[in-house]
Amino acid sequence: MAKPKLTFICQACGAVYTRWQGKCDACGEWNTIVEENASGGIGGGPQRGARRKGRPSALLPLSGEIEEAPRVVTGIAEFDRATGGGIVRGSAILIGGDPGIGKSTLLMQAAAALSRRGHRVVYVSGEEAVAQVRLRAQRLAAADTAVELLAETNVEDILATLAEARRPDLVIVDSIQTLWSDAAEAAPGTVTQVRTAAQLMIRFAKASGAAVILVGHVTKDGQIAGPRVVEHMVDAVLYFEGEGGHHFRILRTVKNRFGPTDEIGVFEMGGEGLREVANPSELFLGERNAKAPGAAVFAGMEGTRPVLVEIQALVAPSALGTPRRAVVGWDQPRLAMVLAVLDAHCGVRLSQHDVYLNVAGGFRISEPAADLAVAAALVSSLSGAPLPPDCVYFGEISLSGAVRPVAHAAQRLKEAEKLGFSRSVLPAASADLPKSHAMRVGEVEALPDLVAQVAGGSIPRPEEGA
Ligand code: TYD
Ligand code: MG
């Protein structure tokens, strides 16, 4: 018999190496490369029986009937929004997230909601004992629903169980990292096992028409394979996120073959599980102190929905040779860029100052449209002049100091107006602005205009020197 071939696989990204090394060249993670016996698995190479001769398939034209993907809707609006309008039958969805963030809670609530609507849902728990799952179901008031529980980790046994009765509408596997298949020889939790198990579950989804949700823990230390190793195999990838110490959670779509990406669903974790947050802006603006300098409200967009958040800046003279730059909820390089533009084009010198930037409520912003709000907050903090409390900011700053228009200006303004804001500062030449607007719109063409507006005369113009 041939010696089993040993390979070294990165548990974070799945890159394969022939020998061990400390750092993965593919994803840059340390200590994630683990020796695995990668023989076997699906399509496990020539040793798996005699080669079969290929069979020709029909070639099809691009035009033809298109069927609208049939979906099952949970009725939990924030969940349905993130999945693109419901879970598509026969599709496989991966829900990733840090341990303890609330994945099992979310899925138990979704399972209960679907079950109440008459769908058959099977919850496969490989992680927790039956009693634990029941306890959670009780706490979530889901214990009286017809959700069926299966405490099993062997994929072949799970598939045999599912084949016994009527086809379920949804199968939830919590979590994919606990599954193991006879087809792979590696230990449970390794890349080979996780991939094989995921592949078998996805094949079951396609063949039976049942939707499958796979839960994947995000891992930092590489002891078990991360969800990234199955991202390419599934139809949709959602991440469940939250900031430590905050109660709200965001379900973010990063891939969806049947709907838009960049969508978010917002929830709040409470004593009886997750509660939907229909208006996230109210939550993120909840505890603002509008009179303090250094706080600017940013009118942002998350997918198709506007979200207002407060950006807080603190600028203070530094005692250190290299001043501190600390950012929570935004991009560090982006902050460096805004600081450089303020310095070069507006005479705002912050090279002797510590700069702290925080997005309130633990929210994360990835849009460049936040540049203008960040600049306003920084200048406000430096000059000690508070910004008008009823004003929102958005716009992208270019390296030349010009303020560039961003998409969805009308939607951002509408949301701000709805929440009682009456002024806005935005890029000149913004497209799609409504003609008549109750809001006072202040257009800025370049960053120095904003600085003059915020700080008045307290910061000298660049030509006067500083
Ligand atoms: P859980 O869904 O088990 O997280 P995951 O499956 O992502 O690991 O949720 C874990 C946390 O949520 C746990 O610390 C307790 C908390 N929680 C609540 O605050 N309220 C609730 O109603 C439930 C069920 C859990
Ligand atoms: Mg869990």
Tell me: the pLDDT tens digits for 4-30? Answer: 677 898 888 888 898 999 998 988 888
Q: Angle at which helices 371-383 and 332-346 pack, to 10 degrees?
A: 60
Ligand nearest to the CA of 176: 2
157/67: higher pLDDT: 157
Q: Give me ligand 2 centre to Cα 82, in Å.
A: 20
pLDDT(206) > 70: yes
DSSP letters for 30-84: BS-EEEEE--BSTT--TTSSSPPPP-------S-S--PPPPEE--S-HHHHHHTT
In a domain, 243, yes or no: yes
pLDDT value at 460 more than 90? no
pLDDT at res. 243: 73
Q: State the number of CA atoms in the 13 A half-sphere of 357 facing the CB.
A: 28
103 labelled binding-site residue: yes
CA of 107 to the centre of ligand 2 (A): 9
Q: Is residue 275 over pLDDT 90?
A: yes
CA of 24 to the centre of ligand 2 (A): 28
- Indicate whether 43 pLDDT > 60: no
Residue-level pLDDT at 1: 53
Band (48; pLDDT cuts 50, 70, 90): low
272 and 293 part of one domain = no
Q: Which ligand is nearest to the CA of 273?
A: 1
> Is a pLDDT exceeding 60 seen at residue 435?
yes
Tell whether 334 and 368 lie within a shared domain.
yes
Which CATH number characterizes residue 117's domain? 3.40.50.300
> Which ligand is closest in space to the CA of residue 99?
1
Gyration radius of the chain over CA positions: 26
The residue whose CB lies within 8 Å of the most ligand 1 atoms, and thus the one to mutate among 134, 138, 215, 269, is 269
CA–centroid distance, residue 298 to ligand 2 (Å) = 34
Look at the chain and report how many structural domains it folds into.
3
Say whether both 274 and 297 belong to one domain: no
Question: Stretch 239-268: mean pLDDT, rounded?
Answer: 86
Q: Kindly report the pTM of this predicted structure.
A: 0.79
The answer on 113 and 84 residing in a single domain is: yes
Do 299 and 236 lie in one domain? The reply is no
pLDDT, position 465: 40
Instruction: Classify the C-alpha dihedral 454-457-460-461 as positive or negative.
Output: positive
Residues 293 and 421 in one domain: yes
Question: Does 104 carry a binding-site annotation?
Answer: yes
Give the mutation target among 105, 107, 217, 248 for probing the ligand 1 site: most ligand atoms within 8 A of CB: 105
What is the residue range of 20's domain?
A: 1-39
Percent of the chain with pLDDT over 70: 91
Tokens of 4: 């089993």
pLDDT at 45 over 80: no
Mean pLDDT of 147-172: 94
Reported confidence tier of residue 437, pLDDT bands at 50, 70, 90 = low
How far apart are alpha carbons 60 and 368 in whole angstroms?
Answer: 43
274 with 288, same domain: the answer is: no
| Same domain flag for 447 and 364 | yes
442 lies in the same domain as 312:
yes
- Across the chain, mean pLDDT equals 88
Of 228, 249, 278, which residue is a domain's last? 278
Q: Which residues line ligand 1 (CB under 6 A)?
A: 97, 99-105, 136, 139-140, 269, 271-273
435 vs 357, more confident: 357
Residue nearest ligand 1's atom 9 by CA: 102
Shared domain for 241 and 298, answered yes or no, is no
Q: Give per-residue pLDDT as tens, 61-113.
A: 888 877 767 899 999 999 999 999 999 999 999 999 989 999 999 999 999 99
Instruction: Give the helix/strand (H/E) hosting 236.
Output: strand 236-241
